[in-house]
Structure 1
């Protein structure tokens, strides 16, 4: 299913209206919530996300393996500052500045309390992360972007690449270093000088694991002149992908004989000097077997809290070694070794990674970090993505390397990288190369487009037309003609003007957006999910509510737009005459023309004014459902009515269950009955049927 992509500039329109964020609480419980924007405090800033990555830590938070307080999630991000508090400005931050995020808490004693929350359209950064010094946690990268060597996708990978480099830096320097050790590098162009002591140079290193940290560690080891690099992993499919990206010298499946195989292989080339563990605790015991005496085991990732190692003298908790950046000399089976752990990142290493990218260090060895990306998804798809990623190692039959979020991507799009680049050739190039990013930096929070402005509405319509053109070309093997384009433009302008003239209480949808977004959502769904590419039908969807809520009538629509548009609009218009009928007549109508049997026994208490409105609503829906099933004026109208209801209801799918508004039991039952009859009579598309039933199920859990 194809979901349109916003332009970079249009992303601002989501601000100053309820915007989407990812929330989680219990294990495996995640949903898309809505947050209202709030002004920054003096020591705060607001970020607009451009790209973000999902890492193993996020997945462990989702499954409950890493207990953290309920709330937002995510920490690998590339963003733009759109609002800055007064004191934050004094730290050098400004609107329009591009940044990446160092998620580590400024207080070393709170290293488990990461900055989690970047998986949302906007994020107000807490003061302790904004005001910390001397090392920043929100790191400006404008200087690197200006070279056009850093793209949004690349910038989103900088944080995990820095974690990998931090591990190798301990090997370069011969042991763990406190964060304060790196402070003096802040005066040397914020980067680590290349002429530092490098103990990794000329040494053989084995890296266990095939996730992003392991892959990037192999890439960094190559740049830092390791003699040989070897990858080891259990999953051979993931190992094959890691080998393609990192281009190690050797690789081995992590089976029962891996220690013997590595020993035999390295016997003639000097043995293994370092083992970087980014997989699981059992890899440590295997590493001991093939590591040279006086060799080093560096724990980076995949170590559980209960993982221990029995040495010749005591029992060592491996998690504590990794978590607390400790170093310990050990002896196992008479072999003296060094055990080290690494946790987090530092600002100078962020700049060293960025410097590598700008200088083309990876390209020298034929390495492209973007090759680690296997999937690009939308923000709204993340609950489903997390569920899939924790069930196995594939999504859409493609193994998982790195999953990135393109925040321009609308709907619930989940794409492999190949699908993403083929469906969105121009905009995927922007994401992967950085084209057009400097233009967006010229905006500031005072020029943010509100979603309800005409500019934003216009942009949504342009996206729909762009999508229609692509699907029309694919299905009909020809382009839209000038007459069809003019029809769509006219329908949009008439609809937008008409809906703006509606009664004030109807001008906005429950999520705060203007009513016009309802027909726009219908048009987008019809094109992308149902492959409806008839411009007259799309025009009819834009205009389908004007007869019901505005002064425009069927004669006007037929005269201005033709019979197809008028027929669909008549079919989808509800009969509001029930609102002026005596209630007794309404009940008589329901008893005599029941679309579902329970309406024949329905009663009414004169004291329940709210119930009176509900009965009138049932009569309106009863009349329309009956008419559409028996005598529609256009054959697509019954299906489009399901789409109409679905898009009216679907906004609640992004809310937690406790926030879903109530609807009457009768209304839900009637809609389910209509879906069933429409499926049998008019071949309701399966995708719409499933989506409609899914949103009905949400209401059933909270119905009155």
Structure 2
């Protein structure tokens, strides 16, 4: 029996930071991973169902993060009496349930876009990375009418992304290839810590004078780079947290070659970004849904985490991943594709056990 304050987790997404914690390249101490997802609260007295998405970062303590510093949502229930309860935001019950796992990552992308576009007008954008965040940035950029290119170190990955059909008109290239645009307006670094420094070297070379680089991930407190001198790149990210301050906190630097560049970044996201993300997911369900490559039951989540963290191919086709979603209501073994027809409101009231 669960209490009225419990959260019944319905879907959860595996994030790149989950993989970094799994590989122990981050110092996070949560015993249970997971921070992207959707849950159901106890119904109201009149029987109305209430769905919420998780907002993992605490704006008053940005080191307090669901699934990082305290136990996350790779479980069926978050008990109401837990010592640390996660922050949540209401979500439209008409949202397809599988897409709800993309609300938080898309919300963080919308926050990054808000910051970068307030620092410099964005008409051409280059994105470094090949995971969920990078593809979400590229889609959002195209929805804003930008010319987009995506840079990734593996040709096989680029061919897989091309086959998804979500970035028609974008240029996909290897790091050593000539850029599609000489002097892009904005660069987004959606890279793990292991690859962030090399990506920043390339982005500094490619962005136009006065352009903006968004440090979407990959840099922590104390990290520096030869192109940006003594600037603490981790503190650039920590200057914007969960929508605070209103506007964009940026750092203005000159590279060793004398080029002026703005840098921004953030941690967390705000309710307005999550609400807008859910609206976009409903409006462009097929396009965003193509990013969900695997939907698995909780019992198989461990094998996917292990394979993804080690760089192994997926246990089931397709053998490249983008977003792996854990369906807490699945009890049968096996992997399925995204279901874009079943809304949150359509899910059964009681989770199978």
TM bin, normalised by shorter chain, reads 0.7 to 0.9
Deviation at 1:82, TM superposition (A): 2.8
Rounded to whole Å, the distance in 2 between the matches of 1:305 and 1:237 is 33
State the Cα deviation string for residues 208-262 of structure 1 (Å, max 9, x = none).
Answer: 1011011011111122232x0111111223223334353153334333x34xx11
Deviation at 1:298, TM superposition (A): 0.8
Q: Does 1:104 align with 2:24?
A: no
State the Cα deviation string for residues 430-456 of structure 1 (Å, max 9, x = none).
Answer: x43225x43557x5xxxx6896xxxxx
Q: Does 1:438 align with 2:345?
A: yes
User: Secondary structure of 1:249's match?
Assistant: coil
**After the TM superposition, which residues 243-262 of structure 1 pair with which residues of structure 2 at under 5 Å, given as runs?**
243=162, 244-247=164-167, 249-255=169-175, 257-258=176-177, 261-262=178-179
Deviation at 1:68, TM superposition (A): 2.0
Rounded to whole Å, the distance in 2 between the matches of 1:309 and 1:248 is 34
Rounded to whole Å, the distance in 1 between the matches of 2:78 and 2:28 is 18
Q: Larger Cα Rg: Structure 1 or Structure 2? A: 1
Deviation at 1:345, TM superposition (A): 0.8
- The 1:450/1:408 distance shift into structure 2, 3 A limit, reads closer
The residue number in structure 1 matching 2:199 is 283
Contact 1:322 1:341 in 2 (8 A): yes
Rounded to whole Å, the distance in 2 between the matches of 1:316 and 1:212 is 28
Q: Does 1:344 align with 2:268?
A: yes
Deviation at 1:410, TM superposition (A): 2.1
* TM-score, normalised relative to structure 2: 0.84
Q: Does 1:321 align with 2:236?
A: yes
Rounded to whole Å, the distance in 1 between the matches of 2:351 and 2:321 is 36
Higher relative contact order (CA 8 A, sep 6+): 2
User: Secondary structure of 2:216's match?
Assistant: strand
The residue number in structure 2 matching 1:239 is 158
Deviation at 1:346, TM superposition (A): 0.6
**After the TM superposition, which residues 34-433 of structure 1 pair with which residues of structure 2 at under 5 Å, given as runs?**
39=3, 45-82=5-42, 96-107=49-60, 110-116=61-67, 117-124=72-79, 137-141=87-91, 144-146=92-94, 150-174=95-119, 199-200=121-122, 203-226=123-146, 228-243=147-162, 244-247=164-167, 249-255=169-175, 257-258=176-177, 261-262=178-179, 265-267=180-182, 271-279=183-191, 280-303=196-219, 307-311=223-227, 314-325=229-240, 327-332=250-255, 333-358=257-282, 360=283, 362=284, 368-396=287-315, 398-410=319-331, 413-415=333-335, 420-421=336-337, 431-433=339-341
Q: Which has the larger strand fraction?
A: 2
User: Secondary structure of 2:25's match?
Assistant: coil
Rounded to whole Å, the distance in 1 between the matches of 2:84 and 2:326 is 26
The residue number in structure 1 matching 2:246 is none
Aligned residues: 332
**After the TM superposition, which residues 548-563 of structure 1 pair with which residues of structure 2 at under 5 Å, given as runs?**
none
* TM-score, normalised relative to structure 1: 0.44
Contact 2:55 2:269 in 1 (8 A): yes
User: Secondary structure of 1:400's match?
Assistant: coil
Rounded to whole Å, the distance in 1 between the matches of 2:172 and 2:117 is 25
- The 1:395/1:406 distance shift into structure 2, 3 A limit, reads same
User: Secondary structure of 2:290's match?
Assistant: helix
User: Secondary structure of 1:118's match?
Assistant: coil
Runs (5+) with no aligned partner, structure 1: 1-15, 17-36, 131-136, 176-198, 422-427, 452-704
Deviation at 1:294, TM superposition (A): 0.9
